[in-house]
């Protein structure tokens, strides 16, 4: 295939990757399901919140396995398996609600759905990094922007869908949509030919080239890999904790400010805040990743950590619905920005050749953070949880300030990734 055809083909693959990420990202909108699930089943709030911690934990853990597989088996194979498992997990979630068995929800939606979501998540990122070495920040931003925007669509659609067909049928409908849309897109994915570069592109000397990429065995011996892991963990712990309770927190502010007491009205209003903030979860991924191409990945993380810490300290005092929404939008933009900038940060630091495995293991921080952040916001009161998040972000600022790109002292012959 000519280079001109390959240049066109990479954008088709990019569109497929963005579709996959958007449908996978619907997992972020769990908070809109919380009250309907409790109303339909009578389960305790903490028990229902545990579902979100399980699925996010499984996504982070299985993303590492997905990164290992995609370097060996290729993107189409791994992503297809992953999206099928995620779709099945959502369908099983509907069956769990219908049967009233919360352990079935944990296993079906939480474990199986999370396993599939994580396996598939890393694939579009690793694939598009190889197709777009000339636009690494932008393309990872576009890719994970889809993941953030998935919650926006669900935040807008699900409250009305649940009111129309019930929460059980809503799970069934979404599961079918995910299966069909994701599987069709996954079958399009493939890697570029070994050694391929876009027309007119010369790799920058400021980043690690494909020929000098760190293997996983090398990367894990550097302190920088653990610093990157810690930065992602701290940023996601704060953001995922907020996201897990954003709709109920918004409803609390709306109720106090506007005097609304009807639960259905509050649910719709809280879902609207979640949907609005989720737009910025997506847009923030594009904004911060594009900015990182200009000012550097490290500088972007320092800005995000410092500004978020200040806002988390301030948020408990906020009583205005508008101000709460604006702050939530910015905080979710930073959550999304961390996910968008980190793949390019890892590829700049360790090279693109083994990025599936190297970055896949970095994503274990996501799973750990989903549990840590979820627990903090579930167990602590609002003020304690927000102050804890601020303290974590200060720690992230310190790590990002100290980060320096690792020096590669040995040269490994690269192995082309599988198609």
Whether the CB-CB separation of 7 and 198 falls below 8 Å is answered with: yes
CATH architecture, domain 3-193+212-402: Up-down Bundle (1.20)
Give the pLDDT confidence score for residue 205 in this predicted structure: 61
Residue 9 has pLDDT above 80, yes or no: yes
In whole angstroms, give the CA distance from residue 135 to residue 417.
Answer: 20
Indicate the range of 33-42, 104-113, 138-147 predicted with least confidence. Answer: 138-147
Give the pLDDT confidence score for residue 342 in this predicted structure: 92
Tens-place pLDDT, residues 236-264: 999 888 877 788 888 888 888 888 777 77
Whether the CB-CB separation of 118 and 94 falls below 8 Å is answered with: no
Residue 412 has pLDDT above 60, yes or no: no
Picking from 4, 32, 10, the residue whose alpha carbon sits closest to that of residue 243 is 32
Q: Which two tokens stand for residue 240?
A: 């995922």
Q: Which two tokens stand for residue 190?
A: 């493939």
Picking from 12, 111, 74, the residue whose alpha carbon sits closest to that of residue 367 is 111
Q: Which two tokens stand for residue 24?
A: 């996978």
Whether the CB-CB separation of 110 and 55 falls below 8 Å is answered with: yes
Q: Which residue has 């011996």 as its token pair?
A: 221
Average pLDDT, integer, range 222-231: 96
Q: Which two tokens stand for residue 98?
A: 């219908």
Residue 324 has pLDDT above 70, yes or no: yes
Residue 416 has pLDDT above 60, yes or no: no
Q: Is 407 helix (H, G, I), strand (E, B) or coil?
A: coil
Residue 209 pLDDT grade (very low, low, confident, very high; cuts 50, 70, 90): low
Q: What is the percentage of the chain residues whose pLDDT exceeds 70?
A: 94
Whether the CB-CB separation of 116 and 79 falls below 8 Å is answered with: no
Instruction: Using alpha carbons, list the distances in angstroms from residue 389 to 27, 174, 292.
Output: 22, 32, 24
Q: Is 239 helix (H, G, I), strand (E, B) or coil?
A: helix
Residue 414 pLDDT grade (very low, low, confident, very high; cuts 50, 70, 90): very low
Cα 248–chain centre separation: 21
In whole angstroms, give the CA distance from residue 184 to residue 81.
Answer: 12
Give the pLDDT confidence score for residue 263 in this predicted structure: 76
Give the pLDDT confidence score for residue 132 in this predicted structure: 87
CA-atom Rg of the chain in angstroms = 21
- Measured at the alpha carbon of residue 44, what is the angle toward residues 43 and 50, in degrees to the nearest 5? 100
Residue 413 has pLDDT above 50, yes or no: no
Residue 211 pLDDT grade (very low, low, confident, very high; cuts 50, 70, 90): low
Per the model's pLDDT, the better-predicted residue between 197 and 223 turns out to be 223
Helix axes of 31-41 and 45-73: crossing angle, nearest 10 degrees: 130
Helices marked H in 100-166: 102-105, 114-131, 136-165
Sequence-distant (≥ 6) Cβ neighbours of residue 39 within 8 angstroms? 167
Instruction: Using alpha carbons, list the distances in angstroms from residue 136 to 25, 141, 150, 276.
Output: 21, 8, 22, 27
Classify each residue of 128-165 as buried b or exposed e, where b means 16 or more C-beta atoms within 10 Å of its C-beta: bbbbbbebbbbbbbbbbbbbbbbbbbbbbbbbebbeee
Give the pLDDT confidence score for residue 102 in this predicted structure: 93
Tens-place pLDDT, residues 28-82: 778 788 888 998 898 988 888 889 888 988 887 888 788 878 878 889 999 999 9
Give the pLDDT confidence score for residue 415 in this predicted structure: 47
Neighbours of 228 (CB within 10 A): 26
DSSP calls for 86-105: HHHHHHHHHHHHHHT-HHHH
Tens-place pLDDT, residues 363-389: 888 778 877 887 777 777 778 888 999
Average pLDDT, integer, range 400-405: 94
Residue 230 has pLDDT above 90, yes or no: yes
Cα 272–chain centre separation: 20
């Amino acid at each position: 295939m000519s280079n001109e055809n390959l240049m066109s083909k990479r954008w088709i693959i990019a569109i497929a990757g963005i579709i996959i990420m958007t449908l996978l990202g619907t997992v972020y909108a769990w908070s809109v399901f919380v009250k309907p699930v409790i109303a339909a089943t009578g389960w305790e709030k903490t028990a229902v919140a545990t579902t979100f911690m399980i699925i996010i934990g499984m996504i982070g853990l299985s993303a590492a396995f997905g990164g290992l597989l995609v370097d060996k088996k290729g993107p189409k194979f791994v992503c297809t398996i992953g999206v099928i498992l995620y779709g099945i997990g959502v369908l099983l979630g509907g069956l769990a609600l219908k049967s009233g068995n919360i352990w079935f929800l944990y296993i079906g939606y939480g474990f199986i759905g999370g396993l599939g979501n994580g396996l598939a998540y890393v694939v579009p990122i690793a694939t598009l990094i190889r197709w777009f070495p000339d636009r690494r920040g932008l393309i990872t931003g576009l890719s994970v922007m889809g993941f953030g925007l998935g919650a926006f669509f669900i935040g807008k659609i699900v409250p009305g869908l649940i009111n129309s067909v019930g929460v059980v049928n809503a799970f069934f409908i979404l599961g079918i949509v995910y299966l069909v849309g994701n599987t069709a897109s996954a079958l399009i994915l493939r890697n570029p030919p070994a050694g391929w570069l876009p027309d007119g592109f010369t790799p920058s000397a400021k980043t690690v080239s494909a020929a000098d990429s760190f293997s996983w065995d090398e990367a894990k011996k550097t302190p920088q890999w653990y610093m990157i892991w810690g930065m992602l963990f701290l940023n996601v712990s704060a953001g995922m904790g907020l996201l897990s309770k954003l709709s109920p927190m918004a409803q609390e502010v709306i109720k106090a400010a506007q005097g609304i007491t009807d639960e259905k009205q509050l649910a719709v209003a809280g879902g609207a805040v979640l949907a609005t903030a989720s737009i910025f979860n997506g847009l923030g991924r594009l904004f911060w990743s594009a900015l990182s191409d200009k000012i550097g990945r490290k500088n972007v993380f320092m800005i995000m950590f410092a500004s978020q810490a200040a806002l988390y300290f301030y948020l408990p005092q906020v009583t205005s619905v508008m101000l709460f929404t604006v702050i939530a939008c910015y905080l979710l933009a930073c959550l999304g920005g961390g996910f968008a900038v980190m793949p390019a940060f890892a590829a700049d630091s360790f090279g693109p050749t083994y990025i599936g495995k190297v970055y896949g293991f970095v994503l274990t921080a996501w799973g750990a953070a989903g549990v840590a952040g979820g627990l903090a916001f579930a167990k602590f009161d609002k003020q304690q949880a927000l102050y804890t998040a601020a303290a974590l972000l200060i720690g992230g600022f310190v790590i990002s300030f100290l980060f320096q790109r690792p020096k590669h002292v040995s040269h490994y012959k690269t192995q082309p990734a599988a198609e």
